[in-house]
């Protein structure tokens, strides 16, 4: 079995994995990072979205071995020093979640989207979040949250794009 | 640590200074939710997250055939595969598994096949479980499942609902028929109205008769969290965690089905990721996981894949509706007759037979119909079982009547809102007894409609529509109206009893006053996204005058919440919330004699307000928290008084609640491509008093989108072999953020009179209202082309075909260029699927 070394939410792990192991299974089953969830088997729902070297990926669509030597951030590693990420705060403030199952993936995708495009319009947000399914909210409040999260992220970064 | 009596006295003394007089009222406040923190940081407890020592993983082997005899199952290779503990077939558990329960026999002679969790000798739908593999890891279980060799002899399958109704092919040959039950309501028989036949005859002679046939396509609830179950057989009780809406019902049914004493079973619904009725079920997989754990004496876990979920978790809707509406020449309705065929699928689930019956009382909607008849035939087919899906019966009814009212408006030549107003119950006529005999307690259809028109800019949009029609714009504008009501807050136990439902409709709550001033609220209504923890905290904070933050809401574990009837039918607040209030009232009454004793006053002289007992006309008083601590210490209580403020209450409503509202939708239909775009959507809902506007708005948004999805996008499609074609999220097309728009929502308030909160349910309202609003809009956009119906979902293909069949051609597009998919070929809807009939809604 191949051995991989991967940094997840700030901690470096070294593990033997079956070549067929998906990143999401590695995160959940080997590392116990169950904050990242699985919602489908066709890469449609986006519930398992994490960041790989700072960019969003659907972790059901990445093999664990592909993460070797790279850095993964999950929803569990998004808050820093006990402070919610502005996007997490925005989802809470805007009631952008109900059952919350899609939420980890939604937030990770939203962070990536606003990093890429801090001034996204509603249409751009809707396009950018299209790969993440939610069955509860009708997306109305998710769009609001991404808008709020974008401006909060921008001000937190002093207006600079990170 | 020891606590000296003095320390307790000191604490009591300290708490005297707590001033609760300026507590802000919590009810009505748009509180952000308590439950969010764990959900946005990934600390959520989903069933699939649970890992127990020695736990085995299960994978189900499922039938690829819709109907077949199982002639042999060879498990030898699978049993010796690495890591495999057991492979069980239906034969192996035949004497233990019992038959899955149905709680709602709608007639005494209702027919139903036995429903084993694992099929024993015959499968009746594609996706039915035929064996289960238990292995050390999920991967090993999955590998071994591939090695289970099942021999089938295929049988003819009953797939089309109308054909099945003719009994040409039997879904269950032993039953001798596909008809499960026939159920009728007739207003003349019930003496709640006149004879439909007489009224229809009269209208044929001198009035208007509209006959239509509508299709409620098959839908899939598609909650985001796949179902998952863990059973731990170690210890004295079997503990089951399950992604379920109904932990209490599940516990009872496990006991009844498997013969295990109820007291030996504990069911926990931890965080549950959505349900929409789809998790209102006792499933084969829950029974199987239980059986395997008991067999191996090890904890066992099963989590479904999405494909399994779409194919085997119960589906919803699936009806043919034949409707006859009679009216006088001015458009005043005189009678409505409804004939339904409802597809049960292969088996009856928990409430499958009753789902159409929940719609029986709602076809008359907000209108004053003098005569009404409802006939429903429940039919078995060899497809996935159906059961409750958000709205359960009421969306079907609402769709039918709101579509018909539009047709009537066209016939009379008036605006759709005008025809509705002519027929609806006026606000001064409440309480109003409907033609079904239900008492609508409150409502104001005029106010909701007026507000919706204003927000929508109705008249301006009508003007734009006119202009586009006149100019022959390829993109036409359609306006859709839905003035809906529904019955929810399930439900008065006596009414359920009269409908032969197997249980009551009460709800239970307890309140525990902790010595540290915190309050635990235990509710029998288990949430899965609805925000009970927040809303219940608001209610209790107001009633007891404690801080919102000091209230902890507990639910979803039969050991903590020993009694409950769970969450469905928009019942949580109006039934469960009222139980919480009543428990809180009991706490206050238990505290009163203790307060009187401590204040050296007469109990009659005490007033309770903002969390404080005060002696009338003095400034003497005590906060509830202070009394809770004194009660805990029990050093100085009146003689004979129980040292506890803890209370519980079970509330059984005397009536349903009847939320209503007016939803208006504008769509743009591209007549060249058939593409529909929702342009604007306004909803004004009257759900009585609102505890938390933020939560309410969220429920409305989500409901609206689920309803729009039925109108435009979603359908569970089977091929002619009975295989689910839309078996993944690639083909079962849930709406995305890019498909949807932002909504304008508002409320009017006509408080419910059947609970002290004055609240009406909101969980299903959006979903019930929006489907007809959207389809009415689509039809309205193309009606001038000679189209009066388009079957749901109104895909671009169906809209385009409707336009082509109606003889309208725009530009150079040719029919040949679009014929990439022959509708009906790979579909359940062969009968009556002649495109011209379907799209023009010809009467059959």
Mean pLDDT, range B794-799, rounded to an integer: 97
pLDDT attached to residue B834: 41
Considering the domain boundaries, does residue B174 fall inside one?
no
Q: What is the pLDDT of residues B68-108, one digit of tens each?
A: 999 999 999 999 999 999 999 999 999 999 999 999 999 99
Question: Domain holding B131: CATH number?
Answer: 3.90.1170.50
Instruction: Identify the band that residue B813 occupies on the pLDDT scale cut at 50, 70 and 90.
Output: very low
pLDDT attached to residue B453: 98
* Chain A residue with minimum CA distance to B220: A135
pLDDT attached to residue B16: 60
The verdict on B644 and B659 lying in the same domain is: no
Q: Is B201 exposed, middle or buried (0-12, 13-18, 19+ CB in 10 A)?
A: middle
Q: Do B49 and A34 touch (CB under 8 A)?
A: yes
Considering the domain boundaries, does residue B134 fall inside one?
yes
B contact test, residue of A39, A43, A140, A149 with most B CBs within 10 A: A140
Interface residue A100 vs chain B (CB under 8 A): yes
pLDDT attached to residue B821: 37
How many inter-chain contacts (A to B, CB under 8 Å) are there?
A: 175
Instruction: Identify the band that residue B157 occupies on the pLDDT scale cut at 50, 70 and 90.
Output: very high
Distance CA B661, CA B311 (A): 34
Q: Do B698 and A40 touch (CB under 8 A)?
A: no
A 37-96: CB under 8 A from B: 37-42, 44-45, 47, 74-76, 78-79, 84, 88, 91-93, 95
Distance CA B321, CA B771 (A): 15
Instruction: Identify the band that residue B807 occupies on the pLDDT scale cut at 50, 70 and 90.
Output: confident
Are B595 and B12 in contact by the 8 Å Cβ rule? The answer is: no
Considering the domain boundaries, does residue B187 fall inside one?
no
Q: Do A122 and B307 touch (CB under 8 A)?
A: no
Residue B25: DSSP 8-state: P
The verdict on B248 and B349 lying in the same domain is: no
Question: How is B161-192 classified by DSSP, letter by letter?
Answer: HHHHHTTSS-SSGGGSSSEEEEEEEETTTTTS
Q: Do B702 and A130 touch (CB under 8 A)?
A: no
Q: Which residues on adjacent β-strands are paired with residue B718?
A: B724
The verdict on B419 and B441 lying in the same domain is: yes
Helix/strand number for chain A, H first, E second: 5, 5
Instruction: Identify the band that residue A156 occupies on the pLDDT scale cut at 50, 70 and 90.
Output: confident
Q: What is the pLDDT of residues B84-95, one digit of tens each?
A: 999 999 999 999
Q: Do B44 and A18 touch (CB under 8 A)?
A: no
Q: What is the pLDDT of residues B103-123, one digit of tens each?
A: 999 999 999 999 999 999 999
Q: Do B274 and A75 touch (CB under 8 A)?
A: no
- Contact residues, chain A, for B272 at CB < 8 Å: 99
Q: What is the pLDDT of residues B175-191, one digit of tens each?
A: 999 999 999 999 999 99
B650, B668, B701: which is the final residue of a domain? B650
Distance CA B648, CA B522 (A): 9
The verdict on B332 and B474 lying in the same domain is: yes
CA B608 vs. chain centroid, Å, equals: 38
pLDDT above 90 covers a percentage of chain B that reads 92
Q: Which residue segment(s) compose the domain that B556 sits in?
A: 5-30+512-650
Token output for A51: 């960041």
H or E element in which residue B219 lies: strand B208-219
B 515-554: CB under 8 A from A: 528-531
Residue carrying the six token digits 């062969």: B830
HEC profile of B691-736: CCHHHHHHHHHHHHHHHHHHHHCCCCCECCCCCECCCCCCCCCCCC
pLDDT attached to residue A53: 98
Are B401 and B408 in contact by the 8 Å Cβ rule? The answer is: no
The verdict on B685 and B707 lying in the same domain is: yes
Considering the domain boundaries, does residue B561 fall inside one?
yes
Q: Does residue B844 carry a pLDDT above 70?
A: no
Residue B657: DSSP 8-state: B
The verdict on B732 and B635 lying in the same domain is: no
Interface residue B705 vs chain A (CB under 8 A): yes
pLDDT attached to residue B1: 45
Q: Do A133 and B224 touch (CB under 8 A)?
A: yes
Token output for B284: 């084969």
- Contact residues, chain B, for A73 at CB < 8 Å: none
Q: Do B703 and A138 touch (CB under 8 A)?
A: yes
Considering the domain boundaries, does residue B75 fall inside one?
yes
Q: Do B224 and A47 touch (CB under 8 A)?
A: yes
Phi, psi of B477 (to 5 degrees): -100, 135
The verdict on B373 and B435 lying in the same domain is: yes
A contact test, residue of B139, B224, B532, B726 with most A CBs within 10 A: B224
Mean pLDDT, range B738-743, rounded to an integer: 98
Mean pLDDT, range A58-71, rounded to an integer: 98
pLDDT above 70 covers a percentage of chain B that reads 93
**Residue-averaged pLDDT of chain B:** 93
Give A69→chain B minimum CA distance, Å.
24
Interface residue B46 vs chain A (CB under 8 A): yes
Token output for B418: 């005008």
**Residue of B715, B714, B716, B710 lying closest to B770 (CA atoms):** B710
Mean pLDDT, range B704-721, rounded to an integer: 98
pLDDT attached to residue B842: 37
Considering the domain boundaries, does residue B14 fall inside one?
yes
**Residue-averaged pLDDT of chain A:** 95
pLDDT attached to residue A158: 67
Count how many domains chain B has: 3
The verdict on B469 and B525 lying in the same domain is: no
Q: Do A130 and B738 touch (CB under 8 A)?
A: yes
- Contact residues, chain B, for A45 at CB < 8 Å: 224, 306, 729
H or E element in which residue B746 lies: strand B744-748
Mean pLDDT, range B375-398, rounded to an integer: 98
Sign, Cα dihedral of B368, B373, B378, B379: negative
Token output for B456: 């929508």
pLDDT attached to residue B19: 54
pLDDT attached to residue B3: 53
Q: Do B531 and A134 touch (CB under 8 A)?
A: no
How many CB atoms neighbour CB B780 within 10 A? 24
Q: Does residue B404 carry a pLDDT above 70?
A: yes
HSE of B521 in the Cβ direction (CA atoms, 13 Å)?
A: 31
Q: What is the pLDDT of residues A111-150, one digit of tens each?
A: 999 999 999 999 999 999 999 999 999 999 999 999 999 9
pLDDT attached to residue A153: 87
Give A154→chain B minimum CA distance, Å.
20
The verdict on B706 and B595 lying in the same domain is: no
Mean pLDDT, range B451-475, rounded to an integer: 97
- Contact residues, chain B, for A135 at CB < 8 Å: 222-224, 274, 276, 702, 706, 734
Query: Which pairing describes strands B265-268 and B238-242: parallel, antiparallel, or unpaired?
Result: parallel
B303, B334, B350: which is the final residue of a domain? B303
A 21-40: CB under 8 A from B: 28-29, 32-40
Query: Lowest-confidence range among A151-160, B75-84, B222-231, B280-289?
Result: A151-160
Mean pLDDT, range B584-588, rounded to an integer: 98
Are B753 and B442 in contact by the 8 Å Cβ rule? The answer is: yes
Distance CA B402, CA B405 (A): 5
pLDDT attached to residue A157: 74
Token output for B713: 């996008």
H or E element in which residue B265 lies: strand B265-268
CA B455 vs. chain centroid, Å, equals: 28
Buried b (16+ CB within 10 A) or exposed e, B100-116: bbbbbbbeeebbbbebb
The verdict on B259 and B390 lying in the same domain is: no
User: Which residues make Cβ contacts (< 8 Å) with residue B420, sequence separation at least 6?
Assistant: B366, B367, B405, B409, B445, B449, B481, B483
Mean pLDDT, range B688-706, rounded to an integer: 98
Considering the domain boundaries, does residue B43 fall inside one?
no
Give A161→chain B minimum CA distance, Å.
23
Sequence-ordered alpha helix ranges (H) in B600-713: 624-633, 693-712
Question: Domain holding B477: CATH number?
Answer: 3.30.365.10
pLDDT attached to residue B6: 72
HEC profile of B96-120: CCCCCCCCCCCCCCCCCCCCCCCCC
Q: Do A138 and B702 touch (CB under 8 A)?
A: yes
Mean pLDDT, range B295-308, rounded to an integer: 98
Mean pLDDT, range B673-700, rounded to an integer: 98
Q: What is the pLDDT of residues B233-248, one digit of tens each?
A: 999 999 999 999 999 9
Q: Does residue B837 carry a pLDDT above 80?
A: no
pLDDT attached to residue B817: 36
* Residue A76 Cα distances to A65, A110, B85, B628, B708, angstroms: 21, 15, 34, 38, 34
- Contact residues, chain B, for A144 at CB < 8 Å: 742
- Contact residues, chain B, for A136 at CB < 8 Å: 224, 274, 529, 698, 702
How many CB atoms neighbour CB B600 within 10 A? 8
pLDDT attached to residue B814: 41
- Contact residues, chain A, for B740 at CB < 8 Å: 126, 138-140
Q: Do A101 and B43 touch (CB under 8 A)?
A: no
Q: Does residue B838 carry a pLDDT above 90?
A: no
Interface residue A121 vs chain B (CB under 8 A): no
Mean pLDDT, range B203-216, rounded to an integer: 97
pLDDT attached to residue A155: 85
Distance CA B401, CA B775 (A): 12
A contact test, residue of B737, B763, B764 with most A CBs within 10 A: B737
Distance CA B220, CA B233 (A): 32
Token output for B473: 């714009």
Q: What is the pLDDT of residues B478-496, one digit of tens each?
A: 999 999 999 999 889 999 9
Of A99, A107, A127, the CB nearest to B224: A99
Distance CA B385, CA B380 (A): 9
Interface residue A109 vs chain B (CB under 8 A): no
Instruction: Identify the band that residue B660 occupies on the pLDDT scale cut at 50, 70 and 90.
Output: very high
The verdict on B77 and B123 lying in the same domain is: yes
**Residue of A100, A52, A101, A114 lying closest to A77 (CA atoms):** A52
Residue A27: DSSP 8-state: I
A contact test, residue of B31, B42, B535, B711 with most A CBs within 10 A: B42
Interface residue A6 vs chain B (CB under 8 A): no
Instruction: Identify the band that residue A162 occupies on the pLDDT scale cut at 50, 70 and 90.
Output: very low
Distance CA B10, CA B3 (A): 11
B279, B303, B327: which is the final residue of a domain? B303
Of B32, B43, B528, the CB nearest to A95: B32
Buried b (16+ CB within 10 A) or exposed e, B420-458: bebbbbeeeebebebbbebebbbbbbebbbebbbebbeb
pTM over 0.90: yes
Q: Is B460 exposed, middle or buried (0-12, 13-18, 19+ CB in 10 A)?
A: exposed
Q: What is the pLDDT of residues A87-115, one digit of tens each?
A: 999 999 999 999 999 999 999 999 999 99
Which domains, from first to last, does chain A contain?
Answer: 3-77 (3.10.20.30), 86-156 (1.10.150.120)
B 274-313: CB under 8 A from A: 274, 276, 305-307
Of B225, B306, B307, the CB nearest to A99: B225
Considering the domain boundaries, does residue B218 fall inside one?
no
Return the SS3 of B547: coil
Going through B381-506 in order, the beta strands assigned E by DSSP cover 432-433, 439-440, 475-485
Instruction: Identify the band that residue B13 occupies on the pLDDT scale cut at 50, 70 and 90.
Output: low
The verdict on B639 and B671 lying in the same domain is: no
Q: Does residue B694 carry a pLDDT above 50?
A: yes
């Amino acid at each position: 079995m191949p051995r991989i070394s991967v940094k997840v939410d700030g901690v470096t792990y070294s593990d033997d994995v079956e070549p067929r192991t998906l990143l999401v299974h590695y995160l959940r089953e080997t590392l116990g990072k169950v904050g990242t969830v699985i919602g489908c088997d066709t890469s449609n729902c986006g519930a398992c979205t994490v960041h790989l070297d700072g960019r969003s990926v659907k972790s059901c669509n990445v093999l664990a071995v592909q993460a070797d030597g790279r850095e993964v951030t999950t929803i569990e590693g998004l808050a820093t020093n006990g402070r919610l990420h502005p996007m997490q705060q925005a989802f809470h403030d805007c009631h952008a979640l109900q059952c919350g199952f899609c939420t980890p993936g939604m937030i990770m995708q939203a962070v990536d989207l606003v990093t890429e495009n801090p001034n996204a319009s509603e249409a751009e947000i809707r396009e950018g979040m299209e790969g993440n399914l939610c069955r509860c909210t009708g997306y109305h409040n998710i769009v609001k949250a991404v808008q709020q999260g974008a401006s909060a992220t921008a001000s937190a970064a002093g207006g600079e794009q990170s | 640590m020891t606590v000296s009596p003095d320390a307790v006295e000191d604490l009591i003394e300290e708490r005297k200074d707590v001033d609760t007089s300026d507590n802000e009222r919590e009810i009505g406040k748009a509180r952000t939710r308590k439950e969010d923190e764990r959900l946005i940081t990934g600390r959520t407890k989903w069933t699939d997250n649970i890992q127990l020592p020695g736990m085995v993983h299960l994978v189900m082997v499922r039938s690829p055939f819709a109907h077949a005899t199982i002639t042999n199952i060879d498990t030898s290779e699978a049993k010796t595969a690495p890591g495999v503990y057991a492979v069980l077939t239906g034969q192996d558990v035949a004497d233990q598994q019992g038959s899955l329960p149905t709680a709602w026999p709608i007639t005494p002679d209702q027919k139903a096949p036995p429903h084993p969790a694992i099929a024993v000798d015959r499968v009746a739908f594609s996706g039915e479980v035929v064996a289960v593999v238990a292995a050390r890891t999920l991967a090993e279980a999955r590998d071994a499942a591939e090695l289970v060799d099942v021999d089938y002899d295929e049988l003819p399958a009953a797939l089309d609902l109308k054909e099945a109704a003719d009994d040409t092919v039997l879904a269950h040959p032993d039953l001798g028929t596909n008809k499960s039950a026939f159920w009728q309501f007739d207003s003349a028989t019930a003496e709640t109205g006149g004879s439909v036949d007489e009224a229809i005859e009269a209208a044929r002679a001198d009035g208007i008769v509209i006959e239509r046939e509508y299709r409620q396509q098959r839908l899939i609830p598609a909650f985001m969290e796949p179902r998952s179950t863990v059973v731990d057989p170690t210890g004295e009780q079997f503990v089951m965690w399950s992604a379920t809406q109904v932990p209490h019902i599940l516990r009872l049914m496990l006991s009844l089905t498997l013969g295990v004493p109820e007291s030996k079973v504990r069911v926990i619904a931890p965080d549950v990721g959505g349900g929409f009725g789809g998790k209102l079920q006792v499933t084969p997989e829950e029974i199987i996981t239980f059986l395997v754990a008991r067999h191996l004496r090890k904890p066992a876990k099963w989590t479904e894949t999405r494909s399994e979920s779409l194919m085997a978790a119960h589906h919803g809707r699936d009806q043919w509706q034949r409707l006859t509406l009679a009216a006088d020449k001015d458009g005043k309705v005189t009678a409505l007759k409804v004939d339904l065929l409802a597809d049960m699928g292969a088996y009856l689930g928990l409430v499958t037979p009753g789902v159409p019956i929940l719609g029986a009382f709602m076809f008359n909607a907000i209108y004053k119909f003098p005569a009404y008849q409802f006939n429903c035939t429940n039919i078995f087919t060899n497809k996935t079982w159906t059961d409750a899906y958000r709205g359960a019966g009421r969306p079907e009814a609402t769709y039918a009547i709101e579509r018909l009212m539009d047709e009537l408006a066209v016939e009379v030549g008036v605006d759709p809102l005008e025809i509705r107003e002519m027929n609806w119950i006026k606000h001064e006529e409440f309480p109003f007894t409907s033609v079904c005999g239900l008492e609508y307690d409150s409502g104001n259809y005029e106010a909701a409609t007026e507000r919706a028109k204003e927000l929508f800019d109705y008249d301006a949009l009508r003007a734009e529509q006119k202009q586009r029609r006149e100019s022959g714009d390829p993109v036409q504008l359609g306006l859709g109206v839905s003035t809906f009501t529904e019955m929810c807050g399930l439900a008065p136990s006596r009414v359920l009893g009269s409908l032969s439902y197997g249980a009551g409709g009460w709800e239970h709550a307890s309140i525990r006053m902790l010595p540290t001033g915190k309050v635990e609220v235990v509710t029998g209504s288990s949430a899965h996204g609805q925000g009970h923890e927040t809303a219940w905290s608001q209610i209790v904070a107001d009633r007891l005058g404690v801080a919102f933050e000091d209230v902890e809401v507990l639910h979803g574990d039969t050991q903590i919440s020993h009694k409950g009837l769970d969450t469905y039918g928009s019942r949580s607040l109006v039934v469960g919330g009222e139980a919480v209030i009543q428990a809180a009232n009991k706490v206050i009454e238990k505290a009163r004699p203790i307060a009187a004793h401590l204040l050296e006053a007469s109990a009659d002289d005490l007033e309770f307000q903002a969390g404080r007992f005060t002696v009338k006309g003095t400034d003497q008083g005590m906060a509830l928290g202070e009394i809770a601590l004194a009660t805990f210490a029990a050093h100085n209580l009146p003689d004979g008084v129980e040292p506890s403020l803890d209370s519980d209450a079970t509330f059984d409503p005397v009536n349903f609640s009847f939320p209503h509202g007016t939803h208006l939708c504008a769509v743009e239909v591209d007549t060249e491509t058939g593409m529909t775009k929702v342009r604007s959507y306004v909803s004004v809902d009257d759900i009585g008093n609102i505890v938390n506007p933020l939560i309410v708005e969220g429920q409305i948004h989500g409901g609206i989108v689920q309803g729009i999805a039925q109108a435009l996008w979603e359908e569970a499609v089977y091929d002619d072999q009975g295989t689910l074609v839309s078996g993944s999220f690639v083909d079962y097309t849930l709406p995305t953020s890019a498909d949807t728009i932002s909504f304008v929502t508002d409320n009017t308030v006509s408080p419910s009179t059947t609970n002290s909160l004055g609240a009406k349910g909101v969980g299903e309202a959006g979903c019930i209202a929006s489907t007809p609003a959207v389809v009415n809009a689509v039809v309205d956009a193309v009606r001038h082309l000679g189209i009066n119906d388009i079957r749901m979902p109104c895909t671009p293909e169906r809209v385009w075909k409707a336009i082509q069949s109606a003889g309208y051609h725009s530009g150079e597009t040719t029919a040949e260029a679009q014929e990439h998919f022959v509708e009906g070929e790979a579909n359940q809807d062969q009968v009556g699927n002649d495109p011209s009939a379907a799209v023009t809604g010809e009467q059959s």
